């Protein structure tokens, strides 16, 4: 039967310390009381940072604050940004909060099976100091990951991806159930070798007439709250061309009795505006930060089924999205990971204005929800004055949406990405989801969430959202009166995919292709060259300054979403979206 320290061996913080040949439970790291942490990386030291691949993997970049008086909250998460030559800390989140606010506390909820059948009312599990059993802090670590196609990873099962840990914190809370309320687990019990039952349960599976010995304990629930920050790696998006700083605000729970369910919530709040504007984006970025909601495609939409060439046009990689009016969802929960077990498809929800002959059918994978990802970032805009401003000879200029340009499908200009699922064409380990046997990184196109969870996303503002996971029972052990319970003595993991802050192109030479594309974007309109020569109608001619190649990012992103209209060569119709979303609500609910 495992001790408290034994069950923590499956956490990413302990794995990272083990990988770095450090003792996770040394007194300077592990304790029974929370302490405040003010982790700061001084930008003045950035001059000493090297930018080759190996150095980038090692460079410490994360800052954050944690007050022991508010155990549910981390503040001022920031990254020392390589895109800014390691001279500026970019704020990733103003705050990360765990738990649902209830009567001044932040709590999770658990459902406990009643001996007489049915369930008790939800148990509230407060994230307060009274219930804290342990704190584990690390300034760094290394996790090698494993190949999920070759085995289940052992104690690393939940964490197949490689990770170089930066400053990270784990908090373990413990609850004993007494009637319809909870009280703290005695700290002395936490040091006992039988703190939790072995996976599968403490009760022997006996047949009629058989006997066995059991040790009776009060119903006990433990909850692990962690913020794990990782150093930069190019292992997030399918092309692996952008260095990303992953971070995992996640929750794990385990009980010594059958639970019928568990519910946790995580709130992420970005700054309301990007403080750097032109200084960072160099292209006239507008200041406010906003969000976009995106659904990845599961089909190859390029002509003849050939691989889609770069750059990644929206009609090749997305099925539908909401970019310009996410405010319609403020305060509403969207089911972004569902419990629908089958494939679905429907025609007529979108219209792909594609010159490659792509089809208009939306295909959904099992458990795919309303959207697959949320991106929170400033918008780009075309310069309106100076040598880099476009000369647009058309009265419909404002209809072309040069003032608020969404940066997708990838973005490294002050953008935070949260992906719950990638499209079925993304088959790398880093993009695959969970299979139906609780194995991560196994199934292309599946949500990166265990199959016994439904996830809801609430957009709270332009720059903040809340992630709520509802965990349901899957086992039907002998003696269970309601049929479906969570396995006793086994962790349930919430938000294992985490989020990531985009930093810059990875230093390797392969990414220079996209740099060239960005510089050439004034001459490329989708797949059709647009030059100030030939039989182009005068109202459609755009002239762009090429004095500063880096000033063309706004046009590059704009062209990924828009393309010339089919009437370009005969009229002044202009441009159109590559995907026209005809029935957004139907697509979301499919």
* DSSP assignments along 528-576, one per residue: EE--SSSS--GGG-EE---S-GGGGHHHHHHHHHEEE-TTTTTSS--EE
Separation of alpha carbons 542 and 460, rounded Å: 39
Map residue 470 onto helix, strand or coil: strand
DSSP codes, 173-234 = EEEEEETTEEEEPPHHHHTSTTSSPPTT-SS--PPTT----------EEEEEEEEEEB--BS
Is residue 528 one of the residues assigned to a domain? yes
What DSSP letter does each residue of 65-96 carry, written as one string?
Answer: EE-TT-TTEEEEEEEE-GGGTT--EEEEEEEE
d(CA 48, CA 538): 53
DSSP letter at 477? -
pLDDT of residue 474: 78
The span from the CA of 252 to the CA of 221, in Å, is 11
- Can you give the pLDDT at residue 585? 97
CB half-sphere exposure, 299, CA atoms < 13 A: 19
The answer to whether the beta carbons of residues 23 and 17 sit under 8 Å apart is yes
Q: What is the mean pLDDT of each run of 10 residues along the chain (590 residues)?
A: 92 97 92 88 79 90 95 97 87 97 94 66 92 96 96 95 97 93 91 84 60 69 98 92 95 93 97 69 62 95 61 86 94 97 95 70 96 94 61 53 83 90 95 96 97 97 98 68 78 98 77 54 42 32 39 74 61 70 96
Let me know: does 234 contact 201? Beta carbons within 8 Å. Answer: no
Q: CA-to-CA distance for 586 and 584, rounded, in angstroms?
A: 5
Rounded to the nearest 10 degrees, the angle between the axes of helix 553-561 and helix 512-520 is 90
pLDDT value of position 295: 98
Question: Helix, strand, coil % (nearest 5) of the chain?
Answer: 15, 35, 50
Burial class (CB in 10 A: 0-12, 13-18, 19+), 364: buried
Identify whether 428 is part of a domain. Answer: no
Contact 556, 517 (CB under 8 A): yes
Decide: helix, strand or coil at residue 265: strand
pLDDT of residue 389: 55
Q: Among all chains, which residue has been given the structure tokens 């090297």? A: 50
Q: 46: closest CA among 25, 61, 58?
A: 61
- CA–CA distance, 298 with 319 (Å, rounded to integer): 8
Radius of gyration (C-alpha) of the chain in whole angstroms: 26
In a domain, residue 391? The reply is yes
SS3 454: strand
In a domain, residue 518? The reply is yes
pLDDT, position 535: 33
Note whether 76 and 63 are within 8 A (CB): yes
Range of the domain at 583: 279-416+507-589
CB atoms within 10 A of CB 32: 12
Distance (Å, rounded) from C-alpha 128 to C-alpha 105? Answer: 8
| Beta carbons of 401 and 552 less than 8 angstroms apart | no
Q: What is the pLDDT of residue 534?
A: 32
Q: What global pTM score does this model have?
A: 0.90
Nearest Cα to Cα of residue 352 among 316, 323, 304: 316
- Is residue 309 classed exposed, middle or buried when 0-12, 13-18 and 19+ CB atoms within 10 A define those classes? exposed
Residue 374: enclosing H or E segment and its boundaries?
strand 373-378
Residues 6+ apart with CB under 8 A from 313: 526, 560, 563, 578
Torsion of CA 48, 54, 60, 61, to 10 degrees: 90
CB count within 10 Å of CB 486 equals 26
φ, ψ for residue 237, nearest 5 deg: -90, 160
Number of structural domains, the chain? 1
Establish if 326 belongs to a structural domain. yes
> Is the bond into 433 cis (omega within 30 degrees of 0)?
no
As a residue count, the chain comes to: 590
Residue 511: per-residue pLDDT: 54
392 occurs within a structural domain: yes
**Residues 506, 243 contacting (CB under 8 angstroms):** yes
């Amino acid at each position: 039967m495992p001790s408290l320290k034994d069950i923590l061996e499956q956490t990413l913080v302990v794995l990272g310390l083990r990988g770095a040949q450090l003792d996770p439970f040394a007194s300077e790291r592990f304790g029974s009381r929370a302490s405040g942490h003010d982790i700061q990386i001084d930008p003045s030291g950035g001059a000493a940072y090297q930018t080759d691949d190996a150095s980038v993997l090692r460079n410490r970049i994360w800052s954050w604050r944690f007050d022991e008086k508010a155990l549910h909250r981390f503040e001022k998460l920031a990254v020392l940004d390589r895109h800014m030559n390691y001279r500026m800390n970019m704020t990733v989140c103003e705050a990360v909060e765990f738990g649902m606010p209830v009567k001044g506390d932040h709590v999770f909820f658990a459902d406990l099976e009643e001996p007489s059948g049915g369930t008790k009312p939800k148990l509230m599990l407060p994230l307060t100091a009274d219930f804290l059993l342990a704190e584990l802090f690390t300034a760094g670590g290394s996790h090698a990951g494993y190949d999920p196609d070759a085995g289940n990873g052992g104690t690393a099962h939940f964490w197949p991806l490689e990770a170089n840990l930066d400053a990270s914190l784990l908090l373990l809370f413990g609850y004993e159930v007494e009637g319809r309320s909870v009280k703290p687990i005695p700290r002395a019990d936490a040091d006992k070798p039988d703190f939790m039952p072995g996976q599968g349960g403490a009760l022997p599976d006996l047949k009629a007439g058989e006997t066995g010995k059991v040790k009776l304990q009060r119903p006990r629930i433990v909850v692990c709250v962690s913020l794990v920050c990782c150093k930069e790696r190019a292992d997030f998006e399918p092309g692996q061309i952008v260095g990303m700083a992953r971070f995992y605000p996640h929750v794990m729970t385990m009980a010594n009795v059958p639970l019928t369910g568990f519910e946790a919530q995580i709130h992420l709040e970005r700054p309301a505006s990007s403080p750097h504007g032109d200084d960072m984006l160099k292209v006239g970025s507008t200041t406010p930060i906003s969000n976009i909601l995106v659904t990845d495609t599961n089909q190859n939409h390029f002509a003849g089924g050939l691989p889609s060439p770069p750059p990644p046009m929206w009609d090749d990689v997305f099925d539908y999205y909401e970019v310009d009016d996410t405010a319609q969802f403020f305060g509403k929960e969207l089911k972004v990971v569902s419990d629908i077990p089958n494939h679905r498809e429907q025609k007529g929800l979108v219209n792909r204005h594609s010159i490659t002959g792509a089809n208009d059918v939306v295909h959904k994978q099992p458990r795919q929800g309303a959207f697959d990802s949320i991106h929170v970032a400033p918008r780009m805009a075309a310069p309106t004055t100076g040598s880099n401003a476009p000369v647009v000879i058309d009265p419909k200029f404002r209809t072309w949406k040069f003032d608020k340009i969404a940066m997708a499908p990838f973005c490294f200009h002050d953008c935070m990405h949260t992906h719950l699922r990638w499209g079925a064409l993304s088959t790398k380990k880093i993009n695959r989801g969970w299979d139906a046997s609780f194995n991560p990184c196994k199934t292309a196109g599946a949500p990166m969430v265990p199959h016994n969870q439904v996830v809801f996303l609430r957009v709270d503002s332009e720059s903040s959202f809340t992630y709520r996971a509802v965990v349901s029972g899957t086992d039907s052990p002998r003696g269970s009166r309601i049929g479906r319970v969570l396995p006793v003595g086994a962790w349930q993991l919430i938000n294992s995919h985490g989020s990531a802050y985009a930093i810059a192109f990875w230093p390797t030479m392969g990414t220079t292709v996209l740099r060239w594309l960005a510089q050439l974007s004034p001459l490329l309109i989708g797949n059709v060259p647009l030059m100030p020569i030939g039989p182009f109608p005068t109202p459609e001619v755009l002239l762009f300054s090429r004095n500063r190649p880096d000033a063309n990012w706004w046009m590059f992103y704009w062209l990924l979403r828009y393309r010339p209209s089919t009437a370009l060569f005969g009229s002044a119709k202009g441009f159109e979206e590559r995907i026209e979303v005809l029935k957004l609500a139907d697509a979301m609910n499919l």
